[in-house]
Amino acid sequence: MQKLRIAIQKSGRLHDDSIKLLKECGIDINNGVNKLKTEASNFPLEVFFLRDDDIPQYVEDGVADIGIVGENVVLEKNRPFQTVEKLGFGKCRLSIAVDKSAQYNGVKDLQGLRIATSYPVIVDKFLKDNKVEAEIHEISGSVEIAPGIGLAEAICDLVSSGSTLFMNGLKEVETVLKSEAILVANSQLNGEQQILLKKLQFRIQAVKKAKN
Ligand code: PRP
Ligand code: ZN
Ligand code: MG
């Protein structure tokens, strides 16, 4: 029987709400700790637990058919997969932050700074739109420590509760964009997979409606 393979975050910001959404859709999965793969008992769904940053690539390559990711990763890389549904959780913003003691009066103060980020495309566009010239340093993680170790004067990263910024002595000074969790799908699903996806999407929409 045809199954749909969904990739969700193994741990972190989107994990709990992703599991909760599947449950609210009436899908029973037992996500035992440290299990990287499991199956639903009452829906033809296989669940892969992966690093959030790897999910877009898995969906693009067809290793997973669908996935739950942050909108921000889709905006950063113009990917060939389709956005199926906004999910209404995982709300956060991609923001620029500087040392909490730094003077900051506006976007022009970013001129000439080094900005560390995992989102070079989005940051580049933001700087161009604001006619500011700054140096972008692309790093893949732990962006918030960059100012503290002398790698950059500013960062651009996701902010949710703000506690990561706070713990690293940074203050948020510009919101570049807002993001939330979305369901994405590989662009070449076969007929049966598309029917399963429609079924799942229908349930997700019902869950969303019930919350409004
Ligand atoms: C994001 C971001 C920060 C954290 C911010 O990480 O990179 O580290 O969330 O959240 P806070 O404002 O609530 O402290 P992400 O969810 O992408 O996880 P990852 O860094 O492990 O990939
Ligand atoms: Zn991430
Ligand atoms: Mg992070």
Q: Minimum mean pLDDT among 4-18, 70-84, 148-162: which range?
A: 70-84
What pLDDT does residue 33 have? 66
What are residue 69's DSSP bridge partners?
A: 182
Quick one: tokens of 209?
């409606």
- Quote the ligand 3 centre to 18 CA distance (angstroms): 18
The 10s digit of each residue's pLDDT in 126-146 is 999 999 999 999 999 999 999
Angle at 78 between CA 72 and CA 80, to 5 degrees: 115
CB atoms within 10 A of CB 191: 8
- Which sequence spans correspond to the domains of the chain? 4-90+180-211, 92-179
- Ligand 1 close to Cβ of residue 172 (< 6 A): no
pTM of the complete model beyond 0.80:
yes
The pair of structure tokens assigned to 156 is 């651009």
Q: Are 158 and 93 in contact (CB under 8 A)?
A: yes
Ligand 1 atom having least distance to the Cα of 118: 7
Look at ligand 1, atom 16, and give the residue with the nearest C-alpha. 13
Homologous superfamily of 4-90+180-211: Periplasmic binding protein-like II (3.40.190.10)
| Interface predicted TM-score (ipTM) | 0.93
Gyration radius from the chain CA atoms: 19
Average pLDDT, the chain: 94
**Does 11 contact ligand 1 (Cβ within 6 A)?**
no
Domain 92-179, second-level architecture: 3-Layer(aba) Sandwich (3.40)
39-75 pLDDT, tens digit per residue, is 999 999 999 999 988 999 999 999 999 999 999 988 8
Residue of 122, 123, 142, 159 with the most ligand 1 atoms within 8 Å of its CB, for mutation? 159
Nearest CA to ligand 1 atom 8: 164
Ligand 1 atom nearest the C-alpha of 167 is: 14
Fold match flag (4-90+180-211 vs 92-179): yes
